[in-house]
Structure 1
């Protein structure tokens, strides 16, 4: 796993997704070295970089040109650019031109989550997986409901990581943002 502090980041682009969260996403994804992963809303590229080390191909999408630029810098920093395609576009338009997806990760949907999930479902291979990270309660509910409508049996875990910082008189725990990780597997 790449340490959070090793990533290039900026105030204008969300991320990177915290290391502990990335670890859970990777575990839940069951990614193999012959699979294609699509990262929608890649931000600074934390999830992209982790999958680039493990998957055959990663396609990272973000409509923010600065996010694509930062992701590219992080991929170069960690020498992971060889199997990653970067697309500066919104998720819906980008997905229209992508086929045979093994894993779709949705970290940002630009208020188009339902349409993105419909497209992902139509492009996902049998036994393909969808992973959604959500901070807003509304997004969590929308994701679960849409996955159920599409015939999936979504799994849901809420994660809240706290890290300790040693002070003179003890250890202070600092909570990082709670996030839901919603996973679903397409029936084969």
Structure 2
């Protein structure tokens, strides 16, 4: 796993997804070296970098040109990216051209989550997996309802990682942003 502190960050781009969360996402994805992975809403590229070390092909999409630039810089910093395609575009538009997806990760949807999930569902292969990370309660509900409408049996895990800092009088546990990880497999 890549260390959080080693990532290039930007004040204007979210991320990277925390290391513990990336580890859970990797585990839940059941990624193999043959998989085609799509990272929709890649931000600074934390998930892209981790999957590029394990998957056969990674396609990362973000509407923000700065996000694509920071992801590119992180890939270069870690000596990764030979199997990564970066797309600076709207997720719905870019996903229409990506067929036979093994794993789709949605970290950002630009308020187009239902449309994005429709397109992913059409382009996901028969054993494909969907992973959605969500911070807002509304996004969690929208994701679960849409996946159910599409015939999936979604599972949700709320994760709250706390790291400790040793003080003179004890250990202070500092909570990092809670996030839900929603997973679904094609039936």
Task: Give the TM-score normalised by the residue count of structure 2.
Answer: 0.99
1:167 Cα deviation (Å)? Answer: 1.0
Q: Which residue of 2 aligns with 1:128?
A: 128
C-alpha deviations, 1:129-150, integer Å up to 9, x for none? 0000000000000000000000
5+ residue gaps, structure 2 = none
Q: Which residue of 1 aligns with 2:92?
A: 92
Q: Equivalent residue of 1:183, what SS?
A: strand
CA separation in 2, counterparts of 1:35 and 1:134? 23
CA separation in 2, counterparts of 1:129 and 1:96? 17
Q: Which residue of 1 aligns with 2:12?
A: 12
Task: Give the TM-score normalised by the residue count of structure 1.
Answer: 0.99
CA separation in 1, counterparts of 2:130 and 2:62? 17
Counterparts in 2 of 1:20-31, with a 5 A limit?
20-31=20-31
Q: Which residue of 2 aligns with 1:60?
A: 60
Q: Which residue of 1 aligns with 2:165?
A: 165
1:170 Cα deviation (Å)? Answer: 1.1
C-alpha deviations, 1:8-48, integer Å up to 9, x for none? 00110000000000000000000000000000000000000
Q: Which residue of 1 aligns with 2:155?
A: 155
RMSD: 0.4
- In the alignment of these two chains, the number of paired residues is 187
1:96 Cα deviation (Å)? Answer: 1.0
Q: Which residue of 1 aligns with 2:108?
A: 108
1:168 Cα deviation (Å)? Answer: 1.3
5+ residue gaps, structure 1 = none
Q: Equivalent residue of 2:82, what SS?
A: helix
1:70 Cα deviation (Å)? Answer: 0.1
1:169 Cα deviation (Å)? Answer: 1.4
1:162 Cα deviation (Å)? Answer: 0.3
Q: Equivalent residue of 1:82, what SS?
A: coil
**Are 2:113 and 1:117 equivalent residues in the alignment?**
no
Q: Which residue of 1 aligns with 2:183?
A: 183
Q: Equivalent residue of 2:109, what SS?
A: coil
Q: Which residue of 2 aligns with 1:142?
A: 142
